[in-house]
Amino acid sequence: MPPHVPADPPAELVAARLRDPYPYFAWLRRCAPAHVERRVGRPALWQVSRYEDVRALLTDTRLSKHPGRVPGYVPGPAGLNRHLVHADPPDHTRLRALVNSAFVPRRIALLEPFITRVAHRLLDRIEHSVHVDLIADFAAPLTFRMICAILGVPGRLDTTATRETLMSTIAPGTSTDAARTERDLHDLLDALIDGKRSGSGGSGVDLLGALVRAGDESGAMSEEELRSTAYLLLLVGHDTTMNLIGNGMLALLDHPEQAARLAAPDPGPGFVASAVEELLRYDSPVRDATFRCAAAPIELHGQVIGAGEIVSLLIGSANRDGERFTEPDRLDLGRTANEHLAFGYGPHFCIGAALARLEGAVAFPLLLRRLGPVQLAKPADELCWRPARVMRGLVALPLVRRA
């Protein structure tokens, strides 16, 4: 076998990568930094695993975000891909400009009292519970409430059922009635948009109302783009931070000395912020960067990625690259110069990064202080991870309070 064509990764690492992808990522970085899977009847899939390569390709204009560049591409039946994540310039530039204003850090910072109040209310409900599911009882409702406030989703739609309808779209095969889920999702989004047009709706920043007005008054967004953008913001604005809180708390449970410092009344200047950055790096809520395919041939590590082939940029692997981070598999809440890629890099840098960071900065110290001594209610290797294509997050994080 030619030296530039690597062998396949060990089967046991592939089998375990949903639960623990980091040994698989380490093998890729060491043995096959540009690993290709040739698939019958489907485009080749390249996995890029080293930090410098991932960061460079996140800004490489030879990679397109538009799925239509893949030969034989057929749009999904839901028709919700006309948003900024699946757009190249100039469409990406136009769509991002329309949503940018609601997510600038100075506006997000104003939400801190609201985030704190909601977090305390959620913890009040479980104050006397011995058994707690940190995802269902705290992380999911907190993060969904925040993105609903920013979008201006009315209270009658800020529900568990709404959230579950959204989440069912990112784990293929988990819905028992995909057609019904699709109809429910379209009905939900149309109800949101129609509510804005009729003058009803929610409180808060009301980004969705502003987008509807922009589309209606100036034609800045098509109806399909508006529906797709509402879907994207609701889903990603909730899912990313829910995963951050779940993954982060799991890591903190495994590192009690560092958790104790984060729970202290005065952990030190800048420590909470650095802790959030390290938790983002250590077990990133985004495992793979969102969709990209080669618009032109790209040479990488002696191989050529062909036009139309799909390129998966492994953010979770890049964030554990020992060539970029000292002792990358060690959690260090005081780590400095932590230029992780959890939010991406370049033009497609996550628009909700400031919100996720603020929610994490509020949630982690508060959880550690108010929950008191807790431990996993089952062994860590029995926890269930959601089979999502891009995100890395737990289905549940069951905890039990220690006496």
Rounded to the nearest 5°, which phi and psi values hold at 208? -65, -40
What share of the chain has pLDDT > 70, as a percent?
93
Residue with tokens 């698939």, as numbered in its chain: 39
Which pLDDT value is given to residue 158? Answer: 79
Neighbours of 282 (CB within 10 A): 27
Model confidence at 175, pLDDT cuts 50, 70, 90, reads low
pLDDT of residue 204: 58
Delineate the domains of the chain, giving CATH numbers in brackets: 11-401 (1.10.630.10)
Question: Which 8-state DSSP code applies to residue 286?
Answer: B
Render pLDDT for 332-358 as a digit per residue (tens, 0 to 9).
999 988 999 999 999 999 999 999 999
| pLDDT at residue 74 in the model | 65
**Residue 1 confidence class, pLDDT cut points 50, 70, 90:** very low
Query: Count of CB atoms within 10 A of residue 291's CB?
Result: 19
Q: How does residue 19 score in pLDDT terms, banded at 50, 70 and 90?
A: very high
pTM: 0.92
pLDDT at 2: 40
For 183-221, what is each residue's pLDDT tens digit?
888 888 888 888 888 876 555 568 888 888 888 888 888
- Beta strands 298-300 and 63-64 are unpaired
DSSP readout, 212-251? HHHHHHH--S-HHHHHHHHHHHHHHHHHHHHHHHHHHHHH
Torsion of CA 25, 352, 84, 72, to 10 degrees: 30
Phi, psi of 34 (to 5 degrees): -130, 90
- pLDDT band for position 3 (50/70/90)? very low
* Residue 240 near residue 234 (C-beta atoms within 8 A): no
Write the CB contacts of 26 (distance below 8 Å, at least 6 apart in sequence). 317, 320
CB 102 within 8 A of CB 150: yes
Strand blocks (E) in 242-301: 293-294, 298-300
Report the alpha-carbon distance of residue 283 to residue 340 in Å, rounded: 11
- Least confident range from 18-22, 37-41, 154-158: namely 154-158
Q: Can you tell me the mean pLDDT for 323-337?
A: 95
Collapsed DSSP state (helix, strand, coil) of residue 400: strand
Q: Tell me, what's the pLDDT at 100?
A: 87
